Chain A
Amino acid sequence: MSTWIVIVAAGLGSYLFRLSMIILTSRITMPSYLERASGLVAPAAFAALAAAGVAAACNGLGITGAAAPLAAVAAAVIAVLRTGSPQAAILVGMPALWVATALLPS
Protein backbone atom coordinates (compact mmCIF):
# COMPACT_ATOMS: atom_id res chain seq x y z
CA MET A 1 0.00 0.00 0.00
CA SER A 2 2.74 2.45 0.93
CA THR A 3 4.31 1.94 -2.52
CA TRP A 4 1.27 3.50 -4.18
CA ILE A 5 1.12 6.33 -1.64
CA VAL A 6 4.82 7.11 -2.16
CA ILE A 7 4.42 7.28 -5.94
CA VAL A 8 1.31 9.46 -5.71
CA ALA A 9 2.99 11.75 -3.13
CA ALA A 10 6.16 12.10 -5.22
CA GLY A 11 4.00 12.77 -8.29
CA LEU A 12 1.85 15.34 -6.53
CA GLY A 13 4.92 17.11 -5.13
CA SER A 14 6.54 17.14 -8.57
CA TYR A 15 3.38 18.63 -10.12
CA LEU A 16 3.27 21.34 -7.45
CA PHE A 17 6.92 22.17 -8.26
CA ARG A 18 5.94 22.50 -11.94
CA LEU A 19 2.99 24.72 -11.13
CA SER A 20 4.63 26.70 -8.30
CA MET A 21 6.24 29.64 -10.06
CA ILE A 22 3.54 29.82 -12.72
CA ILE A 23 1.20 30.72 -9.87
CA LEU A 24 3.65 32.64 -7.65
CA THR A 25 6.13 34.21 -10.03
CA SER A 26 4.84 37.76 -9.60
CA ARG A 27 5.40 37.54 -5.83
CA ILE A 28 8.65 35.57 -5.38
CA THR A 29 12.19 35.82 -6.76
CA MET A 30 14.32 32.68 -6.53
CA PRO A 31 17.78 33.12 -4.92
CA SER A 32 20.66 32.53 -7.33
CA TYR A 33 22.38 29.92 -5.16
CA LEU A 34 19.30 27.70 -5.45
CA GLU A 35 19.51 27.95 -9.23
CA ARG A 36 23.19 26.89 -9.11
CA ALA A 37 22.35 24.07 -6.71
CA SER A 38 19.65 22.73 -9.02
CA GLY A 39 22.27 22.16 -11.73
CA LEU A 40 24.27 19.98 -9.34
CA VAL A 41 21.41 17.81 -8.07
CA ALA A 42 21.22 15.51 -11.11
CA PRO A 43 24.97 14.65 -11.25
CA ALA A 44 25.03 14.11 -7.47
CA ALA A 45 21.91 11.92 -7.65
CA PHE A 46 23.32 9.86 -10.53
CA ALA A 47 26.58 9.31 -8.65
CA ALA A 48 24.88 8.44 -5.34
CA LEU A 49 22.44 6.01 -6.97
CA ALA A 50 25.22 4.47 -9.09
CA ALA A 51 27.48 3.86 -6.09
CA ALA A 52 24.61 2.46 -4.01
CA GLY A 53 23.40 0.32 -6.94
CA VAL A 54 26.80 -1.21 -7.66
CA ALA A 55 27.34 -1.86 -3.95
CA ALA A 56 23.93 -3.54 -3.73
CA ALA A 57 24.72 -5.70 -6.76
CA CYS A 58 27.98 -6.85 -5.11
CA ASN A 59 26.49 -7.27 -1.64
CA GLY A 60 26.88 -10.81 -0.28
CA LEU A 61 28.78 -12.11 -3.33
CA GLY A 62 32.22 -12.20 -1.68
CA ILE A 63 35.43 -11.02 -3.34
CA THR A 64 35.36 -13.54 -6.20
CA GLY A 65 31.63 -13.19 -6.80
CA ALA A 66 31.86 -9.41 -6.94
CA ALA A 67 34.65 -9.55 -9.50
CA ALA A 68 32.28 -9.83 -12.49
CA PRO A 69 30.08 -6.77 -11.71
CA LEU A 70 33.14 -4.74 -10.73
CA ALA A 71 34.87 -5.71 -14.00
CA ALA A 72 31.73 -4.61 -15.87
CA VAL A 73 31.75 -1.25 -14.07
CA ALA A 74 35.44 -0.78 -14.85
CA ALA A 75 34.81 -1.56 -18.53
CA ALA A 76 31.87 0.87 -18.54
CA VAL A 77 33.92 3.66 -16.96
CA ILE A 78 36.74 3.20 -19.49
CA ALA A 79 34.24 3.13 -22.38
CA VAL A 80 32.56 6.37 -21.29
CA LEU A 81 35.88 8.12 -20.69
CA ARG A 82 37.16 7.07 -24.12
CA THR A 83 33.99 7.81 -26.12
CA GLY A 84 32.43 10.64 -24.08
CA SER A 85 29.07 8.92 -24.56
CA PRO A 86 27.07 7.88 -21.46
CA GLN A 87 25.30 5.18 -23.51
CA ALA A 88 28.66 3.39 -23.89
CA ALA A 89 28.37 2.33 -20.24
CA ILE A 90 25.51 -0.07 -21.03
CA LEU A 91 26.70 -1.03 -24.51
CA VAL A 92 30.12 -2.10 -23.17
CA GLY A 93 29.30 -2.88 -19.54
CA MET A 94 26.56 -5.46 -20.11
CA PRO A 95 28.59 -7.65 -22.53
CA ALA A 96 31.55 -7.29 -20.15
CA LEU A 97 29.35 -8.53 -17.30
CA TRP A 98 28.18 -11.57 -19.32
CA VAL A 99 31.75 -12.47 -20.34
CA ALA A 100 33.14 -11.93 -16.83
CA THR A 101 30.33 -13.96 -15.25
CA ALA A 102 31.06 -16.83 -17.64
CA LEU A 103 34.84 -16.74 -17.19
CA LEU A 104 35.40 -15.77 -13.56
CA PRO A 105 34.77 -18.21 -10.70
CA SER A 106 31.66 -17.33 -8.67
Chain B
Amino acid sequence: MTSLRADHSDIAAGARAMVPWLAGIVPFGLVIGVSAAQADVPRLAGWLTGPLIYAGSAQLATIGMLGAGAAPVVVVASALIINIRLIFYSTTMARYWRGTPWWWRLAAAYLIVDPSVAVGLDGYQRLGRGRGHAHYLGGAVVLWVSWLAAIGAGAIVGAGWPAWLHLEFVIPLYLVGQAISKLAHPAQRRAILAAATVALLALSAPLQLGVALAIAAGVAAGLAAEVRR
Protein backbone atom coordinates (compact mmCIF):
# COMPACT_ATOMS: atom_id res chain seq x y z
CA MET B 1 0.00 0.00 0.00
CA THR B 2 1.47 3.33 -1.04
CA SER B 3 1.23 6.49 1.01
CA LEU B 4 -1.22 9.26 0.15
CA ARG B 5 1.73 11.53 -0.62
CA ALA B 6 3.15 9.01 -3.07
CA ASP B 7 -0.30 8.65 -4.66
CA HIS B 8 -0.53 12.41 -5.16
CA SER B 9 2.87 12.60 -6.81
CA ASP B 10 2.05 9.62 -9.04
CA ILE B 11 -1.31 11.14 -10.02
CA ALA B 12 0.51 14.37 -10.92
CA ALA B 13 3.13 12.42 -12.89
CA GLY B 14 0.38 10.67 -14.86
CA ALA B 15 -1.30 14.01 -15.56
CA ARG B 16 2.00 15.47 -16.78
CA ALA B 17 2.63 12.44 -18.99
CA MET B 18 -0.71 13.08 -20.71
CA VAL B 19 0.09 16.73 -21.59
CA PRO B 20 2.04 15.99 -24.84
CA TRP B 21 -0.90 13.88 -26.04
CA LEU B 22 -3.24 16.84 -25.63
CA ALA B 23 -1.54 18.69 -28.51
CA GLY B 24 -3.06 16.18 -30.92
CA ILE B 25 -6.21 15.36 -28.97
CA VAL B 26 -7.58 18.84 -28.27
CA PRO B 27 -7.77 19.80 -31.99
CA PHE B 28 -9.54 16.48 -32.65
CA GLY B 29 -12.05 17.28 -29.89
CA LEU B 30 -12.60 20.74 -31.39
CA VAL B 31 -13.27 19.14 -34.79
CA ILE B 32 -15.83 16.80 -33.24
CA GLY B 33 -17.50 19.72 -31.48
CA VAL B 34 -17.68 21.63 -34.77
CA SER B 35 -19.17 18.56 -36.48
CA ALA B 36 -21.77 18.27 -33.71
CA ALA B 37 -22.72 21.92 -34.22
CA GLN B 38 -22.90 21.60 -38.02
CA ALA B 39 -24.70 18.24 -38.18
CA ASP B 40 -28.44 17.85 -38.13
CA VAL B 41 -28.50 16.53 -34.53
CA PRO B 42 -29.26 18.33 -31.24
CA ARG B 43 -26.12 20.06 -30.01
CA LEU B 44 -26.39 18.48 -26.56
CA ALA B 45 -26.70 15.03 -28.16
CA GLY B 46 -23.54 15.69 -30.18
CA TRP B 47 -21.66 16.77 -27.06
CA LEU B 48 -22.96 13.73 -25.13
CA THR B 49 -21.12 11.43 -27.54
CA GLY B 50 -18.06 12.61 -25.58
CA PRO B 51 -18.91 11.26 -22.11
CA LEU B 52 -20.97 8.33 -23.45
CA ILE B 53 -18.98 6.91 -26.39
CA TYR B 54 -15.66 8.55 -25.42
CA ALA B 55 -13.70 7.54 -28.54
CA GLY B 56 -13.13 10.12 -31.27
CA SER B 57 -13.46 8.07 -34.46
CA ALA B 58 -16.67 6.40 -33.29
CA GLN B 59 -18.05 9.78 -32.18
CA LEU B 60 -17.35 11.29 -35.61
CA ALA B 61 -19.01 8.34 -37.34
CA THR B 62 -22.03 8.51 -35.04
CA ILE B 63 -22.55 12.26 -35.49
CA GLY B 64 -21.93 12.13 -39.24
CA MET B 65 -24.23 9.16 -39.87
CA LEU B 66 -26.99 10.52 -37.63
CA GLY B 67 -26.75 13.83 -39.50
CA ALA B 68 -27.01 11.98 -42.82
CA GLY B 69 -30.14 10.16 -41.68
CA ALA B 70 -28.70 6.65 -41.34
CA ALA B 71 -30.79 3.94 -39.73
CA PRO B 72 -30.19 3.74 -35.95
CA VAL B 73 -29.02 0.12 -36.02
CA VAL B 74 -26.47 0.92 -38.75
CA VAL B 75 -25.10 3.86 -36.76
CA VAL B 76 -24.71 1.78 -33.59
CA ALA B 77 -23.15 -1.12 -35.49
CA SER B 78 -20.66 1.19 -37.23
CA ALA B 79 -19.66 2.86 -33.95
CA LEU B 80 -19.12 -0.52 -32.30
CA ILE B 81 -17.10 -1.88 -35.25
CA ILE B 82 -14.83 1.16 -34.99
CA ASN B 83 -14.53 0.67 -31.22
CA ILE B 84 -13.72 -3.03 -31.36
CA ARG B 85 -10.10 -2.15 -30.52
CA LEU B 86 -11.30 -1.32 -27.00
CA ILE B 87 -11.62 -5.07 -26.37
CA PHE B 88 -7.87 -5.41 -26.93
CA TYR B 89 -7.14 -2.49 -24.65
CA SER B 90 -9.37 -4.18 -22.09
CA THR B 91 -7.27 -7.35 -22.42
CA THR B 92 -4.09 -5.32 -21.98
CA MET B 93 -5.24 -3.55 -18.81
CA ALA B 94 -6.90 -6.62 -17.27
CA ARG B 95 -3.60 -8.09 -16.11
CA TYR B 96 -2.87 -4.97 -14.03
CA TRP B 97 -6.36 -4.69 -12.56
CA ARG B 98 -6.83 -8.30 -11.48
CA GLY B 99 -7.72 -8.41 -7.79
CA THR B 100 -8.60 -4.72 -7.55
CA PRO B 101 -11.98 -3.64 -6.07
CA TRP B 102 -14.92 -3.87 -8.47
CA TRP B 103 -15.58 -0.11 -8.25
CA TRP B 104 -12.04 0.58 -9.45
CA ARG B 105 -12.43 -1.75 -12.44
CA LEU B 106 -15.80 -0.23 -13.37
CA ALA B 107 -14.44 3.32 -13.18
CA ALA B 108 -11.00 2.67 -14.69
CA ALA B 109 -12.51 0.70 -17.59
CA TYR B 110 -14.73 3.66 -18.48
CA LEU B 111 -11.58 5.75 -19.02
CA ILE B 112 -9.95 3.25 -21.41
CA VAL B 113 -9.05 4.85 -24.74
CA ASP B 114 -5.89 4.98 -26.86
CA PRO B 115 -3.90 7.72 -24.99
CA SER B 116 -4.94 6.65 -21.47
CA VAL B 117 -3.83 3.07 -22.20
CA ALA B 118 -0.48 4.27 -23.59
CA VAL B 119 0.22 6.54 -20.59
CA GLY B 120 -1.15 3.97 -18.14
CA LEU B 121 0.98 1.12 -19.49
CA ASP B 122 4.09 3.27 -19.22
CA GLY B 123 3.24 3.94 -15.58
CA TYR B 124 2.58 0.27 -14.75
CA GLN B 125 5.83 -0.81 -16.39
CA ARG B 126 7.95 1.83 -14.65
CA LEU B 127 6.23 2.07 -11.25
CA GLY B 128 4.57 -1.30 -10.68
CA ARG B 129 0.92 -2.04 -10.00
CA GLY B 130 0.23 -0.05 -6.84
CA ARG B 131 1.67 3.28 -7.97
CA GLY B 132 0.67 2.54 -11.56
CA HIS B 133 -3.02 2.84 -10.64
CA ALA B 134 -2.48 6.44 -9.50
CA HIS B 135 -0.41 7.21 -12.60
CA TYR B 136 -3.15 5.80 -14.87
CA LEU B 137 -5.84 7.75 -13.03
CA GLY B 138 -3.93 11.06 -13.28
CA GLY B 139 -3.42 10.76 -17.01
CA ALA B 140 -6.89 9.40 -17.78
CA VAL B 141 -8.76 12.10 -15.84
CA VAL B 142 -6.76 14.93 -17.47
CA LEU B 143 -7.57 13.40 -20.85
CA TRP B 144 -11.27 13.04 -20.05
CA VAL B 145 -11.65 16.64 -18.84
CA SER B 146 -9.67 18.05 -21.77
CA TRP B 147 -11.62 15.98 -24.29
CA LEU B 148 -15.04 17.09 -23.05
CA ALA B 149 -13.90 20.73 -22.79
CA ALA B 150 -12.55 20.66 -26.36
CA ILE B 151 -15.79 19.17 -27.74
CA GLY B 152 -17.83 21.80 -25.88
CA ALA B 153 -15.62 24.63 -27.17
CA GLY B 154 -15.86 23.26 -30.73
CA ALA B 155 -19.65 23.03 -30.50
CA ILE B 156 -19.92 26.66 -29.35
CA VAL B 157 -17.48 27.96 -31.98
CA GLY B 158 -18.93 25.81 -34.76
CA ALA B 159 -22.47 27.08 -34.21
CA GLY B 160 -21.55 30.76 -34.11
CA TRP B 161 -19.27 31.18 -37.11
CA PRO B 162 -20.50 32.49 -40.49
CA ALA B 163 -21.68 30.08 -43.20
CA TRP B 164 -19.10 31.24 -45.77
CA LEU B 165 -16.37 29.61 -43.66
CA HIS B 166 -17.87 26.19 -44.63
CA LEU B 167 -16.88 24.65 -41.29
CA GLU B 168 -18.88 21.57 -42.26
CA PHE B 169 -15.94 20.74 -44.52
CA VAL B 170 -13.49 20.53 -41.59
CA ILE B 171 -14.56 16.94 -40.89
CA PRO B 172 -14.03 15.51 -44.39
CA LEU B 173 -10.66 17.28 -44.54
CA TYR B 174 -9.68 15.95 -41.12
CA LEU B 175 -10.57 12.44 -42.25
CA VAL B 176 -8.69 12.87 -45.54
CA GLY B 177 -5.62 13.90 -43.54
CA GLN B 178 -5.87 10.88 -41.24
CA ALA B 179 -6.35 8.46 -44.15
CA ILE B 180 -3.60 9.89 -46.38
CA SER B 181 -1.08 9.93 -43.51
CA LYS B 182 -1.49 6.16 -43.08
CA LEU B 183 -0.80 5.21 -46.72
CA ALA B 184 2.85 4.26 -46.06
CA HIS B 185 1.91 0.98 -44.34
CA PRO B 186 1.04 -1.62 -47.06
CA ALA B 187 -1.86 -3.34 -45.28
CA GLN B 188 -3.34 -0.04 -44.13
CA ARG B 189 -2.93 1.34 -47.67
CA ARG B 190 -4.99 -1.58 -49.05
CA ALA B 191 -7.58 -1.05 -46.33
CA ILE B 192 -7.80 2.70 -47.06
CA LEU B 193 -8.07 2.33 -50.85
CA ALA B 194 -10.64 -0.47 -50.62
CA ALA B 195 -12.73 1.35 -48.02
CA ALA B 196 -12.75 4.63 -49.99
CA THR B 197 -13.65 2.82 -53.23
CA VAL B 198 -16.50 0.85 -51.66
CA ALA B 199 -17.79 3.96 -49.87
CA LEU B 200 -18.03 5.82 -53.20
CA LEU B 201 -19.59 2.84 -55.01
CA ALA B 202 -22.14 2.36 -52.22
CA LEU B 203 -23.19 6.00 -51.86
CA SER B 204 -26.76 5.16 -52.79
CA ALA B 205 -26.96 2.11 -50.50
CA PRO B 206 -30.07 2.13 -48.30
CA LEU B 207 -29.91 3.13 -44.61
CA GLN B 208 -26.42 4.64 -45.13
CA LEU B 209 -25.08 1.08 -45.10
CA GLY B 210 -22.30 2.13 -47.45
CA VAL B 211 -19.94 3.29 -44.69
CA ALA B 212 -20.32 0.07 -42.70
CA LEU B 213 -19.83 -2.01 -45.87
CA ALA B 214 -16.78 0.07 -46.78
CA ILE B 215 -15.17 -0.41 -43.36
CA ALA B 216 -15.71 -4.18 -43.59
CA ALA B 217 -14.30 -4.27 -47.14
CA GLY B 218 -11.30 -2.20 -46.08
CA VAL B 219 -10.47 -4.45 -43.12
CA ALA B 220 -10.86 -7.56 -45.32
CA ALA B 221 -8.55 -6.08 -47.98
CA GLY B 222 -5.97 -5.13 -45.35
CA LEU B 223 -6.04 -8.59 -43.78
CA ALA B 224 -5.67 -10.20 -47.23
CA ALA B 225 -2.61 -8.02 -47.88
CA GLU B 226 -1.08 -9.11 -44.55
CA VAL B 227 -1.66 -12.79 -45.37
CA ARG B 228 0.03 -12.41 -48.79
CA ARG B 229 3.13 -10.83 -47.21
Contacts and interface: CB of A to CB of B under 8 A. Distances in A.
Interface of A: 2-15, 17-23, 25, 30, 33-57, 69, 72-73, 76-77, 80-81, 84-90, 93-94, 97-98, 101
Given A37-B222, A76-B173, 20 more contacts: A14-B55, A18-B86, A22-B94, A36-B226, A38-B87, A40-B222, A44-B191, A44-B217, A44-B222, A45-B211, A48-B218, A49-B172, A50-B178, A53-B171, A53-B172, A53-B175, A57-B172, A73-B176, A84-B181, A86-B181
A11 B175 contact: no
B19 interface: no
26 contacts: A4-B45, A6-B72, A7-B49, A10-B75, A13-B80, A14-B53, A17-B90, A18-B89, A19-B90, A21-B90, A25-B90, A40-B188, A41-B81, A41-B85, A43-B178, A44-B195, A44-B217, A47-B199, A50-B179, A51-B196, A52-B203, A52-B210, A56-B68, A72-B173, A80-B176, A98-B166
Contacts of A49: 60-61, 64, 171-172, 175, 199, 211
B18 interface: no
Interface string B22-56: 00000100010000000001100100110111110
Given A33-B223, A43-B179, A90 B173 contact: yes
Contacts of A2: 72
Interface stretch (B7-15, B106-114, B118-126): B106-114
